[in-house]
Structure 1
Amino acid sequence: MDTLFIKNMVCNRCIMVVQNELDKLGLKVKKIKLGEVTLDNELTPEEKDQLHNVLVPLGFEVIDDKKSRIIEKIKNVIIDLVHHQDNGIKNNLSDVLSDKLHHDYNYLSNLFSEIEGTTIEKYFIAQKIEKVKELLVYDELSLSEIAFRLNYSSVAYLSNQFKKVTGLTPSYFKQIKEDKRKPLDKL
């Protein structure tokens, strides 16, 4: 059995693409989830090269070092919380990350800041704002419903944070409906 950590797997489509490439290479997948693939067998050096050659052009990369794997896991937990769970985070983000990654939050926070050049909190806020943009563009929920769904304490707090990050109010953003969204792997 071999577990691979793959950078930039941020959505279900990414999982499908990686699964497809692994299938084409004849590699037997035991389990696949955001940022992580468990194979039935250890990869040979040739298979590692082949995998690298097909994943990199698609924007993915196998991560070898421990610190980068932890960073990718932090990002995947945050992406999952914000983008794949309705009204997801009930606890402090620090508690969620510590529990899921089995490390002290101070260690995770310092490592993330050192490697990424930003804080976990700023990354989390950036993800939430991207989700707000997505929901505003879909135009199916009111701002108060969006605030509730993303666990903002109030619409005013959501609006202030949105304006601070984007320079626009949510209502103005909704009016212009320009595609101001960034791909998740570019945040």
Structure 2
Amino acid sequence: MVCPRCVKAVEDLARQMGLTGAQVELGILTLPDGVREGKSLDQKKLEELSNRLHVLGFELIDSQKARLIEQIKKEVIFLARKADGEKPKENLSLILSKKLHVDYNHLSALFSASEGQTIEKYHIAQRIEFVKELLVYDELTLSQIAFNLGYSSTAHLSAQFKKVTGLTASHFKNIKDLKRKF
């Protein structure tokens, strides 16, 4: 779940299934203690939840490794979409390690083995997706976008954009029918 509409869809599903007290935030559905202890969520209901989530385009994650990978993705997406004009004071590896309380080498190896790319490349891809979104909205110039996202310069953003998409930012802006990846 990476957007407010996704959160709303999962909240509605939890309500429809009678999972009262369920809390939903980006990437996480937290069930109340009674539900997690199996008092109201038997195997059949768990399968139904999994199937209904699948219909919405989500999946139920039940392994610790998969949960950790989803937490990494959630944090990276949050960081990629942070547009406060300041460059982070700490590097990505330190931020993730502190936030998830796991050694970065372990996070990196786990993520790379599972996703087939490094956390850094995933972070860059997410930042570029956000840049695409901002370009499509056409409210900010490329210079403003670069500043808001903490890039060292517009040239750096332009080079990274071209490397990831194969297009210049101005060309992308002109062909608004290009599909974004979610």
Flag whether TM exceeds 0.5 (same fold): yes
Partners of 1:29 and 1:37 within 8 A in 2: no
Residue aligned with 1:61, SS: coil
2:16 is the alignment partner of 1:24: yes
1:178 CA displacement: 2.4
1:58-73 alignment, distance < 5 Å? 58-73=56-71
Residue aligned with 1:37, SS: strand
1:49 CA displacement: 1.4
1:31 CA displacement: 2.5
1:121-140 alignment, distance < 5 Å? 121-140=120-139
1:71-110 alignment, distance < 5 Å? 71-83=69-81, 85-87=82-84, 90=88, 91-110=90-109
Aligned identity (percent) is 56
**Divergent runs of 4+, >6 A:** none
Compute the TM-score of the two structures, normalised by the length of structure 2: 0.90
Partners of 2:75 and 2:96 within 8 A in 1: yes
Counterparts of 2:20 and 2:95, CA distance in 1: 31
2:3 aligned to which of 11, 28, 37: 11
Residue by residue over 1:116-136, the C-alpha shift from the partner in whole angstroms, topping out at 9 and shown as x without a partner, is: 110001100100111111111
Q: Higher relative contact order at CA 8 Å, sep ≥6: structure 1 or structure 2? A: 1
Residue aligned with 2:167, SS: coil
CA RMSD of superposed structures (Å): 1.4
More strand per residue: 1 or 2?
Answer: 1
Counterparts of 2:139 and 2:52, CA distance in 1: 38
Counterparts of 1:175 and 1:54, CA distance in 2: 39
Counterparts of 2:22 and 2:168, CA distance in 1: 46
Gaps of 5+ in 1: 1-8
Residue by residue over 1:85-129, the C-alpha shift from the partner in whole angstroms, topping out at 9 and shown as x without a partner, is: 323761211111111111011110111001111000110010011
Partners of 1:81 and 1:89 within 8 A in 2: no
